[in-house]
Amino acid sequence: MFKTLSTIATLLALVVVVVGAYVRLEHAGLGCPDWPGCYGQVSPLHASADIAQAVAQQGSTAGPVSMQKAWYEMVHRYLAGTLGVLILLLAVLSWAGKFKIKQQSQPKILPSVLLLTVIMQAALGMWTVTLLLKPVIVTLHLIGGMTTLALLAWLTIQQYSLSALGRRAQPLRGWALFGLVLLAIQISLGGWVSTNYAALICADLPTCQGQWLPVMDFKHGFQLIRELGQTAEGEILSYQALTAIHWTHRVGAMVVALFWVGWLLAAFRVQALRGWSIIVGAALLTQLGVGIGNIISHLNLTVAVAHNAAAALLLMVVVMLNFALSIRSTY
């Protein structure tokens, strides 16, 4: 039961991350301006009168509020709530397993860490709405979702019987962990690009605005405590600041790609790692391709959502690879 629940929770976490990206890209994050309900109701259907009034006040359905956007937001909340219940069940099962001799190998600490993570994630989800999409909160919410997915992926793969990859694979273990850290930083940078709406600031490839080093303002671009579209001093966030955000993410993508290409070339020479090399390589190539497609398509909605989904899948694969490398050989 624990194995089944953890597998379902991992897949649902992936869905929640992708749906969350869709909500963000559809500018539906304020479709319901309160939390956890929608205008104090359990669904947009029950809040239809309030939504109609809000739409009338903003003058059209093109603003942040509409019945469609309210449903987008609430479906995401329903899915996230279901995931929270599953994680609670996993924690309860792990606590109960302490008293059963047959379940001594069942994880005890990780489900509790997951429960704390999802509680914090719920708080970030609330603050995302109540603080009106403050960039640092929205980015932390994205990081929290990815962290939940990564922890669930680790918990789930623990339930499957994997053989040790052998001593020849061990020298690459530390480098794989370093690669995971690089990937986590890059995903965070991607979240910062998205929450600041800087994805289309550089619309050309491989240069940015026709230059390798465009004019950039890192100071204001990476100020964490500020409102959306503003500096910490309350002024309009400059074009140069948005350029710095986007350019840094691009450079990060190149660093991560070069690192993992080098790791994969080394790993492919180890027989036990060839399968993992193909899986990680395919996930990396997909993410790079979709990222380039984002620029070429000028942030087409489907491509942009696929970019988030590919990042989540790459994270899962790298987490599972690190678990496989952590299994010690007995010979």
Residues involved in catalysis? 73
Q: What are all long-range contacts of 31-35, with beta carbons under 8 Å and residues at least 24 apart?
A: 31/64, 31/65, 31/66, 31/68, 31/69, 31/70, 31/71, 31/72, 31/73, 31/74, 32/70, 32/73, 32/74, 32/129, 33/65, 33/129, 34/129, 34/130, 35/77, 35/125, 35/126, 35/129, 35/130
Is residue 180 within 8 A of residue 45, CB to CB? The reply is no
Output phi, psi for 300, to 5 deg: -55, 135
Least Cα distance to 285 among 268, 317, 310 occurs for 310
Q: Which two three-digit tokens encode residue 156?
A: 């789930």
Give Cβ neighbours of residue 243 (< 8 Å, ≥ 6 apart).
198, 201, 202, 208, 209, 214, 215, 216, 217, 221
